[in-house]
Chains A and B, each alone.
Chain A
Amino acid sequence: MSAVAQTGVRRTGRGGALAGVWVVAAALFAVLPYVFSSGTGLTTMSLMAIMIIFALSYNMLLGQTGMLSFGHAVYYGLGGFLVVHAMNGITAAHLPVPLAVLPLVGGVAGLVFGVIFGSVSTRRGGTAFAMISLGLGELVGASALILRDFFGGEDGITTNRTKLLHVAGFNFGPQLQVYYLIAFWCLVCMMAMYALTRTPFGRICNAVRDNPERAAFIGYNTQSVRFIAFCLAGLFAGIAGGLTAINFEIMNAANVGAAPSGIVLLMTYIGGVGNFAGPVIGAVLITFLQVMLSDATEIWQLYLGILFIVMVSFAPGGIAGLIAMHAPVWRARLLHRLVPAYALALALGLVTFAGAALALEMAYRLSAGSEGGTAFRFLHVPLDAASAAPWSLAVLLAVPGFVAFRRVLPIVGNAWAATLAEARRGRGR
């Protein structure tokens, strides 16, 4: 964590570079639809942008303030529901309100519910907060099914985004227009949340996370710090929910339930809680896997679970943490020294994984859970799980691969230590 704080301090001195990052991000948002132009591509990217906001708002709690929440979808979902109701109300009353400002309604809703639930749940941090968030999440999730008028029962509440006031010829029928709307809000929210981490308040949040006793001792009320962070997280989660409502034109009780609360935790943690870019990476990666992995395999949840366990065990800083670790080496222009060791480890890791994945896929074909028989395709190659040949192949890949991989790990470690030491020395000179 302290390394992250250091890099952060350094970054503040480089306002120009920071502005450059935002310009690049904006350009990326603008260009991507021309690269991935299919309906699926646009829908997936819209979803990714929404999830970036949601995961970043979650990281205001977990990463910035050290609050583990199991019920963050409450604010996301309620924000979305308020937006759907607002859209329908505006359409019915023919009010001259453009669609583009409606995510604000979601933000306000998220903020209001954040204030209400935050006032009871943020009195304590740690496990007590985690458990209250779990309880509140279950309560709201269960009520969503019971209260039919507001949550629309099983069918949910639908709306039509094209019926609102059209500004400058945009009717938001085509997904492309909706994508740009979401991308705009995503960029605004990212900048706002990043700016927040640079304020004194953001620093106090970090202090409350790292050492609440000391933060209290130097005069900060840790309870109100947690409360304010919680409300702000609710605000941004609400905006994300509002954009979901606009993107899908439907909100459903599942949106406030346990599943999105769990997914946002996965995204944020796998991406990396110690770094602002972490949740962004996690949101993009996990959304992509959710949409696409189920095409490749029925047991995608197993892979996701294993990925999560591996990340927690070996890379608690997440993907962003791994990348940030290399910053000093990168600055010393020594990254190429690591390439051979990394390439070797990666190759062996891939071989091991291919063997293990092949074995898992075949085990699934043979298992009671599969309904489809034993024939299947692995990497486009048709195979039969009931025959011995692919099993031998799997074992031949996985076992020697793993043994060799274990052997190579110390080499990687040594290369890393040597390179890092040299990078530090270089900087010292």
Chain B
Amino acid sequence: MSPAISRVVAFAWIGLMAGTALGRADTLKIAYVDPLSGGGASVGQVGLEHFQYIADQVNAKGGVLGMKVEILGYDDKTNPQEALVQVQKAIDAGARIIAQGNGSSVGAAIEDFVAKYDDRNPGKEVVYINYAAVDPSLTNAKCSYWHFRWDANSDIKMEALTNYVKTRPSIKKIYLINQDYSFGQSVRTEARKMLAQKRPDIQIVGDELHPLLKVTDFSPYIAKIKASGADTVITGNWGQDIALLLKAAADAGLQADWYTYYAGGAGGPTAIRQANLADRVFAVGEGFANIDYAPARAMETEFRTKLNGQTLWYPRVFNMMDMIFRAIEEAKSADPLKFAPKLEGMKITTFDGGEGFMRAADHQFFQDMFVVALGPLGAGQPFDEEHTGWGWKEVGKVPADQTVLPTTCKMQRPS
């Protein structure tokens, strides 16, 4: 049994003995902590490819402040405590920038850990850059100076979505169905609150919660939706919960539009194609492949060629890295204590050509949001998804300033 172990022992011995072996000054180490094995790795590995791709691009141009960018991958197995051990390993390996995205549970744990670590280890501060953990509390009640988020949080997405719904008079009866955990619960409460303000005439005809990833057969839920007479369903479901929901709806012949957060996630387009719901499933996000903006399309083409047809899922990772590099160059230092202030309030032209800014009050990034629908490709739409022959197309755009929500964050800045 021992060869694998002895090999690992050898690695680990070096790792454990080394103490805080800080990297050489000529590399900028960015730790990527996300699931790299098991089921969650389907998204975690692709995320890592985004980082690697960007690092290669920057290094080809000479790096940042003359430093080569190095991405260190750490497998957190989508488990918060496991993630903390891996963050500790990343810090020991000399990384002072920790990137993470998959799972708000992990995000909350890292945000809290990094805040305490920086508090207890002055002079060795690290910063947590978040590209996909969308729990609003990370930039509200739990906000921390050492956390920056580039994905729109779930409330912002709902703000964008309801601003779009406001412009659609055909929507009259909405059904809410969500996974029964904090994210699904916040989708449902925000939807109710915002719809009541913006479209008081809309009737909420149903409001369902079901356990996370435990439902095999959604037919009874579809029967309820059907009985309610809803014309539109809003759901934050992801993974098999969205795929099975859409398939059951198609089986039962339910005629409704689906407004979703994660229909574009891994496996989503495949399920929509199987259910044959052309142009009836909508998603809200900060970008999509077929956007009418030449630089983004060029990058998408190059990314897909290089990575075997993989969709560029995370335009926001490009925004994030762009801003980090810019802040480091402005501060002339890769020390988070020096470059973090440069990020506050920074404005950029985003990957998709719009204006974006990092709000100083809570370290939340704001950008244009798009409502997109999946269906057969039209003229001038070159990119399909998951080899289905269907692609995302724009049906509505919500400018960045219409997505701004107030924050309850009371930011404690280092003195």
Distance to closest chain A CB from B262 (angstroms): 15
* A154 lies within 8 A of B182 (CB): yes
Distance to closest chain A CB from B228 (angstroms): 23
Against B, the Cβ 8 Å flags (1 = close, 0 = not) of A153-178 are 11110101010000000000110000
From B77-85, B293-301, B347-355, B371-379, the one touching the partner chain is B77-85
Distance to closest chain B CB from A309 (angstroms): 12
A300 at the binding interface (Cβ < 8 Å): yes
Minimum-distance CB pairs A-B, first 3: A153-B182, A155-B108, A294-B75
* B75 lies within 8 A of A252 (CB): no
* B82 lies within 8 A of A290 (CB): yes
* B8 lies within 8 A of A146 (CB): no
Which A residues are CB-close (under 8 A) to B19?
37-38
Give residues 298-316 of A contacting B (CB, 8 Å).
Answer: 298-301, 303, 307, 310
* B16 lies within 8 A of A44 (CB): yes
A253 at the binding interface (Cβ < 8 Å): yes
* B45 lies within 8 A of A142 (CB): no
Q: Footprint of A on B, CB under 8 Å?
A: 1-5, 7-8, 11-12, 15-20, 36-38, 41, 45-46, 48-49, 74-75, 77, 79-82, 84-86, 88-89, 91-92, 103-105, 108-109, 112-113, 116, 120, 135, 137, 142, 180-183, 185, 209, 211-212, 214, 307, 310
Q: Give Cα A125 to B325, complex, Å.
A: 61
Which A residues are CB-close (under 8 A) to B307?
371
27 cross-chain CB contacts under 8 A: A36-B16, A36-B17, A38-B15, A38-B17, A40-B89, A41-B16, A43-B85, A142-B212, A145-B212, A248-B80, A248-B84, A249-B116, A250-B81, A250-B108, A250-B109, A254-B81, A259-B79, A289-B8, A291-B86, A292-B8, A292-B15, A298-B36, A299-B37, A350-B3, A357-B4, A370-B45, A371-B48
Which A residues are CB-close (under 8 A) to B209?
146
Complex: chain B residue closest to A171, CB-CB: B120
Complex: chain A residue closest to B6, CB-CB: A350
Q: Give Cα A48 to B3, complex, Å.
A: 21
Q: Give Cα A160 to B307, complex, Å.
A: 43
Among A148, A250, A285, A353, the one with the most B-chain Cβ atoms within 10 Å of its Cβ is A250
Distance to closest chain B CB from A401 (angstroms): 11
Distance to closest chain B CB from A73 (angstroms): 12
Distance to closest chain A CB from B105 (angstroms): 5
* B79 lies within 8 A of A254 (CB): yes
Distance to closest chain B CB from A197 (angstroms): 27
The residue that B80 contacts in the complex, of A146, A252, A292, A298, with Cβ under 8 A, is A252
* B181 lies within 8 A of A154 (CB): yes
9 more A-B contacts (CB under 8 A) besides A153-B181, A298-B36?
Answer: A145-B212, A160-B116, A250-B84, A252-B81, A289-B5, A295-B75, A300-B37, A357-B3, A372-B49
* SS of A interface (majority): helix
Q: Give Cα A40 to B87, complex, Å.
A: 9
Q: Give Cα A292 to B105, complex, Å.
A: 22
Q: Give Cα A153 to B46, complex, Å.
A: 27
A334 at the binding interface (Cβ < 8 Å): no
Distance to closest chain B CB from A298 (angstroms): 5
Against B, the Cβ 8 Å flags (1 = close, 0 = not) of A269-295 are 000000000000000010011111111
Q: Give Cα A39 to B36, complex, Å.
A: 22
Known contacts A250-B109, A301-B37; is-contact A307 B185 (Cβ 8 Å): no
Against B, the Cβ 8 Å flags (1 = close, 0 = not) of A347-386 are 0011001100100000000000111100000010000000
Among B7, B20, B82, the one with the most A-chain Cβ atoms within 10 Å of its Cβ is B7
Q: Give Cα A250 to B408, complex, Å.
A: 22
Across the A-B interface, how many residue pairs have beta carbons closer than 8 Å? 164
A244 at the binding interface (Cβ < 8 Å): yes
Which B residues are CB-close (under 8 A) to A372?
45, 48-49
Which A residues are CB-close (under 8 A) to B92?
38-40
* A379 lies within 8 A of B7 (CB): yes
* B89 lies within 8 A of A154 (CB): no
Which B residues are CB-close (under 8 A) to A35?
17
Complex: chain B residue closest to A36, CB-CB: B16
Among A37, A153, A158, the one with the most B-chain Cβ atoms within 10 Å of its Cβ is A153
Known contacts A145-B180, A158-B108, A250-B109; is-contact A153 B185 (Cβ 8 Å): yes
Give residues 222-250 of A contacting B (CB, 8 Å).
Answer: 244, 248-250
Distance to closest chain B CB from A87 (angstroms): 14
Complex: chain B residue closest to A80, CB-CB: B81
Which A residues are CB-close (under 8 A) to B135?
154-155
* A298 lies within 8 A of B16 (CB): no
Q: Give Cα A353 to B135, complex, Å.
A: 44
Complex: chain B residue closest to A259, CB-CB: B79
Distance to closest chain B CB from A151 (angstroms): 10
Q: Footprint of B on A, CB under 8 Å?
A: 35-41, 43-44, 47, 142, 145-146, 148, 153-156, 158, 160, 162, 173-174, 244, 248-250, 252-255, 259, 285, 288-301, 303, 307, 310, 346, 349-350, 353-354, 357, 369-372, 379
* B105 lies within 8 A of A156 (CB): yes
Known contacts A160-B116, A371-B307; is-contact A155 B105 (Cβ 8 Å): yes
* A294 lies within 8 A of B37 (CB): yes
Q: Give Cα A413 to B42, complex, Å.
A: 45
Q: Give Cα A307 to B1, complex, Å.
A: 7
The residue that B120 contacts in the complex, of A173, A298, A299, A301, with Cβ under 8 A, is A173
Complex: chain A residue closest to B45, CB-CB: A371
* A47 lies within 8 A of B4 (CB): no
Distance to closest chain A CB from B230 (angstroms): 24
* B8 lies within 8 A of A252 (CB): no
The residue that B81 contacts in the complex, of A39, A142, A255, with Cβ under 8 A, is A255
The residue that B3 contacts in the complex, of A158, A353, A369, with Cβ under 8 A, is A353
Among B41, B105, B212, the one with the most A-chain Cβ atoms within 10 Å of its Cβ is B105
Distance to closest chain B CB from A196 (angstroms): 28
Which B residues are CB-close (under 8 A) to A148?
181-182, 185
Which B residues are CB-close (under 8 A) to A299?
37
Known contacts A145-B181, A298-B75; is-contact A155 B37 (Cβ 8 Å): no
Which B residues are CB-close (under 8 A) to A296?
4, 7-8, 11
* B80 lies within 8 A of A254 (CB): yes
Q: Give Cα A22 to B92, complex, Å.
A: 32
Complex: chain A residue closest to B306, CB-CB: A373
Which A residues are CB-close (under 8 A) to B105?
154-156, 252-254
Q: Give Cα A354 to B2, complex, Å.
A: 10
Q: Give Cα A349 to B1, complex, Å.
A: 8
Which A residues are CB-close (under 8 A) to B75?
294-295, 298
* A40 lies within 8 A of B84 (CB): no
Q: Give Cα A145 to B105, complex, Å.
A: 11
Q: Give Cα A372 to B92, complex, Å.
A: 25
Complex: chain A residue closest to B108, CB-CB: A155
Which B residues are CB-close (under 8 A) to A145?
180-181, 211-212
